[in-house]
Amino acid sequence: MRTDMRYIATAFAVLLLAGFSFAGEPTTEPATKPAGILSKRIPELRFDGVALADVLGFLSDVNGTTFTADWNALRKQNVDVTTSVTMRVKDLTLGQILDAIAIHLNKDGEVIYTVDKDNTIEFTTKAAIGK
């Protein structure tokens, strides 16, 4: 039942954010607009209790984009490589999916992701990048 409630909460958050992108400000000036990467459509995703590190690895493989995480900063928010991600979505952009993951990981709005000049996407915290 708890898994069902998490799924419902995640699905609701994804639906609410379908038109929004809350990506953190890039730490450096992007070579191309991050929106180009973030606007790539993903036909379908299913994660059922998958470790965050594996989710980022999968997204990297599917999109040809490098994903990283500042695990030290995330650990302060009780997020680590084994943090479970459950998500079932269809026909969303990469940005919408990342927004939903960030919301799922957030305890107090501190977890964000950034896109750098090489289009590397990093999950980190506002504190870690000085925001």
What pLDDT shows up at residue 105?
A: 92
Tens of pLDDT along 76-106?
999 999 999 999 999 999 999 999 999 999 8
Q: Which parts of the chain have pLDDT scores under 50?
A: 1-33
Q: Distance of CA 108 to CAs 85, 105, 113, Å?
A: 17, 9, 15
Close Cβ partners of 8 (under 8 Å, ≥ 6 residues apart): none
d(CA 108, CA 57): 25
**Is the CATH number 3.20.20.70 carried by domain 2-125?**
no
What pLDDT shows up at residue 67?
A: 96
Domain ranges of the chain: 2-125
What pLDDT shows up at residue 131?
A: 63
Report which of 49, 84, 70, 51 is spatially closest to residue 112, judged by C-alpha positions.
70
